[in-house]
Structure 1
Amino acid sequence: MNTAPSRPARPPLPLAEVRAAGAGDAGAVHGLSRPFVRAGALRDRTLAELARRAADFLVVEAGAEGPVGCAGLRPCADARGRAAVVLYNFCVAPGHQGRGIGSALLDAVLREAGARGAGRVFAATVGSGLLFLRHGFAVGREEEAPPAWRAALDPARGSRILTRVLG
């Protein structure tokens, strides 16, 4: 006999669409990022900076709510000069976590990175990184990471570098 308490069912996953962000999405990306900035999980970026970098971003929309997740991809070269991308500002609105939206976004990020000719994707996390690890990332060696990006990481935040080889 099962005596474990029953858990309430999670709301069904709304239809999620991942798309390239436009300049008009900068406010939504900024708003999505704020709780994670306050928690120390994301670097603080101004609305103007996000608007300038709108072409870096993918956003995921769930139903009619507008963007509920985002991720930036910046092309770079790894420490050996090979084509790579840095994944940054990856976040999913707290009310939408655990419903497959982050996985859909990360899958789209990996496809886009491959389409851009990257052989590797680099990310930094102050959290567990479990979503990344489930999608084939591994803890990376700092010396392999893009030097300028690595130098810009704040050591006080205790970020771990994760990497995923594509192809």
Structure 2
Amino acid sequence: MDWHERLLQIDDLPIILEWYNNEELHNIADVKSFKRYTIEELRQYWTEKLSRSYASYHVIVVEDEVIGRVGLKKKKYEDAYVMEYSILIGVSNLYSKGLGTEITKYFISKSFLNPDIEAVVLQVREDNKRAIRCYEKAGFKKEKSYIENQVKVYDMHRVKKEETI
């Protein structure tokens, strides 16, 4: 499937609002309590996020339609820098087609172009089996399991070199 990425823009918020206000999608992908957003609340939220110098946010486009978004945040982890990764595909008929894995591999490669980045890390709900399979196919390994906001989650890492961060 052909896709491309570009930086997320404020004009993308109406489609993102649909995903954020989809409780079923939220309960698969997020550990926070579900909250409905207005377009203005989402605009304020994303205006702040888009101003972060240590992060970049991208949309995924298939056939001129925004179908998902990716977040990358550079963080200090112990004595190394890592890239925190998040992905959300908001179009359910594109699930289980390998698209998430392909996109994830692309952003791993893009992250590792930065010589400071030793690993790409993420958090995933333990019950989100489809996402876990995607991440494992992209080379992530489960590092630890814990409970956040009464939800079981895994931290998963994809290390640049063979040694552990």
Output the TM-score relative to the length of structure 1. 0.71
Deviation (angstroms), 1:22: 2.5
Return 5+ residue gaps in structure 1 as ranges.
1-12, 143-149
Give the letter for the 1:121 counterpart: V
Aligned to 1:97: 95
Is the CA contact 2:143–2:156 (under 8 Å) kept in the aligned structure 1? yes
Note the aligned Cα RMSD (angstroms). 2.5
Give the letter for the 2:63 counterpart: G
Name whichever structure is richer in strand by fraction. Answer: 2
Aligned to 1:56: 56
Q: Does 1:41 align with 2:54?
A: no
Is the CA contact 2:123–2:155 (under 8 Å) kept in the aligned structure 1? yes
Is the CA contact 2:141–2:157 (under 8 Å) kept in the aligned structure 1? yes
Q: Does 1:122 align with 2:110?
A: no
Deviation (angstroms), 1:155: 4.5
Q: What is the total number of aligned residue pairs between the two structures?
A: 141
Is the CA contact 2:140–2:156 (under 8 Å) kept in the aligned structure 1? yes
Compared CA separation, residues 50 and 40, structure 1 to 2 (3 A):
farther
Deviation (angstroms), 1:40: 4.8
Aligned to 1:5: none
Compared CA separation, residues 30 and 110, structure 1 to 2 (3 A):
farther
Deviation (angstroms), 1:26: 3.4
Aligned to 2:154: 160
User: Map of 1:69-148 to 2, 5 A cutoff?
Assistant: 69-78=68-77, 80-88=78-86, 90-92=87-89, 93-116=91-114, 117-126=116-125, 127-128=128-129, 129-141=132-144
Identity %: 11
Aligned to 2:38: none
Output the TM-score relative to the length of structure 2. 0.72
Q: Which moved more, 1:129-138 or 1:98-107?
A: 98-107
- Structure 1 outlier segments of 4+, above 4 Å: none
Q: Which one has a bigger Cα radius of gyration?
A: 1
Give the letter for the 2:80 counterpart: R
